[in-house]
């Protein structure tokens, strides 16, 4: 049979589909798999999100669906971050030691943690120190056999210059791993707690190497997480199956289908009709509909994120901080808050969100003063600029409506004589084109599953982040980089706060990016879905999610606000 769309199958239950195999190639799986809506509702749930999947390895991702949603299901890390206290907690490492003033870290691993068993790999042993060593040596060692498999880019770690940070990774015994750094690094543990740092299977890697199929390691993933990849159809859906051997306990749902295919009001319609059980990143303009429907629940939490306008500082006239300042003065941020976020965000005065412990409380939002902007542009002889603004076409956790945001900025800048041409772009195409440095402006943002300021500053604005393709401003300031390095050398929180506030003052003066908003995390779901935790970091395990079939909607609508 010809492959039908997932939702035709889910709605009718009358046809079988040739589901794609996990994305080793575009060829369909040899055994068609029938799917019916009753199957999903009885044994799992449907999670609707607008996004793209290029591979399933978070090490290779710079942001997006793999980090925000999939990583927490397929993989585990050495450490985790408590979503309520923002503190580091054990995961695959049950405890750890910090030695040499932060230059040596020793991790004691859990025992009896199994890797997933799939149709493409059956492990013969439990997770151990070999897997940890392999996972991180692949990133830092250019001579490692797997370093260049599927490309040699590891955007998050490259932006941190991780290979220069880590001197050695040593297996002490099967359950003990020692990381030795070239210098003390107070942020090191936090970076290992991000979803960019999964523990992969060294045994799986060795088996792929024997058959010359190394590229499958990122396309047919094997992890220790609560769910494992079952089926994937590019641009349509990802289907995850329960890992029955999960070390924290068997997940309550047998499967999760992640619907990728519809954006905007289409996803809301699916939630209202019951085709979606969970709607990630609903548009703020849809809140009144969500609140008024007794069949739905809504969760809001402060988020560790920032939306910003990046100036291409490598290109005239935006290489002049005065021009960047004039553009900032022309943008009516309050209107963005009202028209884009509808009260679900606060105006950003810094790249750091207010929830960060290093946030500078003296930071002030750039004023809106179009008259002053016109005067400054005229004095610089830049009164008739034409600028290209690159904009992602899909909603983001930090910006639910990028194209509408761009249109508002376009209208604001027109009032001061600047013509803005909006260029919608998508996914990896956006990243590749932005790094060609042909753009003038881009709407972007950053969210992280770390409370350490280093997870914001270095990936977004360090010199190394230009090469790692996460610094869209192409801004490199040696003084700023020196401050970031200085902040890592101390284990004293007060000293680090002082240094990071100096760094924020440089950003305020130079303005390589204009912070726009720090958004609340929103999530809407059907009344019978329980155990769904909304993390401020943009990700959460689905292991505890279940469907309470005996629940019924009531006329009284409640709204959850996580602490």
Mean pLDDT by 10 residues, the chain (563 residues): 36 32 39 48 89 90 85 96 86 96 96 97 98 98 96 92 95 98 94 95 98 97 97 91 97 94 74 90 84 90 89 96 97 93 89 89 91 96 93 84 95 97 74 64 88 91 89 95 94 92 95 94 91 80 88 45 42
With residues binned 3-state (H G I as helix, E B as strand, rest as coil), the percentages for the chain, rounded to 5, are 30, 25, 45
3-state SS of 464-533 is HHHHCCCCCCCCCCHHHHHHHHHHHCCCCHHHHHHHHHHHHHHHHHHCCEEEEEEEEEEEEEECCEECCC
CA 262 to chain centre: 19
How many distinct helices (H) and strands (E) make up the chain?
Answer: 20, 23
Q: Give bridge partners of residue 524 from the DSSP assignment.
A: 279, 298
DSSP type of residue 401: -
The whole-number pLDDT of residue 356 equals 87
Q: Is 417 left (phi over 0), alpha (psi -120 to 50) or beta?
A: left
The whole-number pLDDT of residue 51 equals 79
CA dihedral in degrees (290, 296, 302, 307; nearest 10)? -50
The whole-number pLDDT of residue 264 equals 58
Token pair of 301 as six digits: 């939490």
259 touches 7 (CB < 8 A): yes
Establish whether the linkage from the previous residue to 408 is cis, with ω within 30° of 0.
no
The whole-number pLDDT of residue 538 equals 66
DSSP type of residue 555: S
Strands 386-392 and 441-447, by their bridges, are: parallel
Strands 386-392 and 419-425, by their bridges, are: parallel
The whole-number pLDDT of residue 300 equals 83
The whole-number pLDDT of residue 38 equals 52
The whole-number pLDDT of residue 20 equals 34
What φ, ψ does residue 430 adopt, rounded to 5°? Answer: -60, -50
Token pair of 167 as six digits: 């001197």
The whole-number pLDDT of residue 442 equals 94
Report the alpha-carbon distance of residue 70 to residue 267 in Å, rounded.
Answer: 19
What Å distances lie between residue 49 and 327, 397, 531, CA to CA? Answer: 33, 10, 19
Report the alpha-carbon distance of residue 515 to residue 508 in Å, rounded.
Answer: 10
Encode burial over 22-35: b for 16+ CB neighbours within 10 A, e otherwise: bbeeeeebeeeeeb
> If you count them, how many residues does the chain have?
563
DSSP type of residue 24: T
The whole-number pLDDT of residue 355 equals 81
452 touches 478 (CB < 8 A): no
376 touches 326 (CB < 8 A): yes
Query: What is the three-class DSSP state of 151?
Result: coil
Q: Output the pTM of the full model.
A: 0.80
DSSP of 75-143:
---SEEE-TTT--EEESSEEEEEEETTTTEEEEEEPSS-BPPPBTTB--SSB--HHHHHHHHHHHH-TT
Report the alpha-carbon distance of residue 370 to residue 416 in Å, rounded.
Answer: 6
Token pair of 169 as six digits: 């990774």
Domains of the chain: 1-52+225-294+527-563 (3.40.190.10), 76-223 (3.90.76.10), 305-519 (3.10.105.10)
The whole-number pLDDT of residue 42 equals 83
538 touches 397 (CB < 8 A): yes
The whole-number pLDDT of residue 350 equals 93
The whole-number pLDDT of residue 7 equals 34
The whole-number pLDDT of residue 3 equals 37
474 touches 314 (CB < 8 A): yes
| Nearest alpha carbon to residue 547 among 11, 45, 128, 72 | 45
Residue 287's H or E segment, with its range, is helix 287-292
């Amino acid at each position: 049979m010809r492959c039908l769309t997932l939702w035709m199958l889910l709605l009718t239950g009358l046809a079988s589909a040739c589901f794609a195999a996990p994305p080793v190639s575009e060829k369909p799986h040899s055994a068609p798999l029938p799917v019916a809506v009753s199957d999903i509702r009885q044994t799992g749930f449907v999670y609707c999100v607008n996004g793209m999947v290029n591979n399933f390895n978070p090490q290779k991702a710079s942001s997006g669906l793999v980090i925000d949603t999939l990583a927490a299901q397929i993989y585990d890390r050495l450490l985790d971050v408590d979503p309520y206290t923002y503190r580091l907690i054990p995961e695959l490492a049950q405890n750890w030691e910090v030695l040499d003033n932060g230059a040596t870290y020793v991790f004691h691993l859990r025992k009896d943690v199994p890797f997933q068993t799939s149709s493409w790999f059956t492990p013969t042993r439990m997770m151990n120190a070999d897997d940890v060593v392999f996972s991180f040596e692949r990133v830092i060692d250019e001579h490692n056999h797997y370093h260049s498999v599927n490309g040699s880019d590891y955007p998050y770690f490259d932006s941190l210059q991780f290979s220069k940070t880590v001197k050695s990774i040593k297996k002490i015994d099967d359950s003990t791993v020692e990381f030795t750094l070239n210098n003390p690094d107070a942020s090191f543990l936090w970076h290992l707690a991000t979803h960019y740092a999964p523990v992969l299977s060294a045994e799986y890697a060795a088996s792929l190497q024997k058959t010359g199929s190394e590229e499958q390691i990122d396309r047919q993933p094997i992890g220790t997480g609560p769910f494992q990849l079952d089926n994937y159809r590019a641009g349509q859906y990802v289907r995850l199956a329960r890992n029955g051997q999960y070390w924290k306990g068997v997940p309550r749902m047998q499967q999760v289908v992640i619907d990728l295919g519809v954006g905007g009001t289409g996803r809301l319609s699916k939630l209202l009709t019951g085709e979606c059980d969970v709607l990630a990143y609903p548009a703020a303009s849809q809140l009144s509909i969500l609140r008024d429907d007794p069949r739905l629940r809504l969760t809001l939490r402060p988020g560790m994120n920032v939306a910003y306008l990046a100036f291409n500082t490598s290109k005239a006239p935006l290489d002049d901080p005065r021009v960047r300042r004039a553009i900032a003065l022309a943008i009516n941020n309050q209107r963005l808050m009202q028209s884009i976020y509808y009260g679900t965000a606060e105006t950003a005065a810094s790249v750091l969100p207010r929830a960060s412990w290093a946030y500078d409380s003296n930071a002030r939002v750039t004023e809106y003063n179009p008259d002053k902007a016109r005067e400054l542009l005229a004095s610089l002889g830049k009164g008739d600029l034409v600028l290209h603004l690159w904009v992602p076409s899909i909603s983001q956790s930090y910006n639910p409506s990028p194209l509408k945001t761009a249109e508002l900025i376009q209208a604001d800048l027109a009032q001061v004589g600047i013509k803005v041409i909006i260029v919608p772009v998508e996914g990896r195409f956006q990243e590749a084109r932005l790094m060609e440095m042909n753009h003038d402006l881009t709407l972007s943002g950053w969210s992280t599953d770390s409370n350490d300021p280093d997870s914001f500053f270095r990936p977004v604005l360090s010199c190394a982040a230009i090469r790692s393709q996460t610094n869209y401003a192409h801004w490199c300031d040696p003084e700023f980089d020196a401050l970031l390095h200085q902040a890592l050398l101390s284990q004293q929180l007060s000293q680090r706060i002082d240094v990071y506030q100096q760094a924020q003052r440089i950003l305020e003066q130079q303005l390589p990016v204009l912070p726009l908003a720090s958004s609340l995390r929103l999530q809407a779901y059907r009344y019978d879905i329980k155990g769904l935790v909304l993390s401020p970091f943009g990700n959460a395990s689905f292991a505890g999610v279940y469907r309470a079939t005996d629940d019924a909607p009531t006329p009284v609508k409640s709204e959850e606000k996580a602490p």
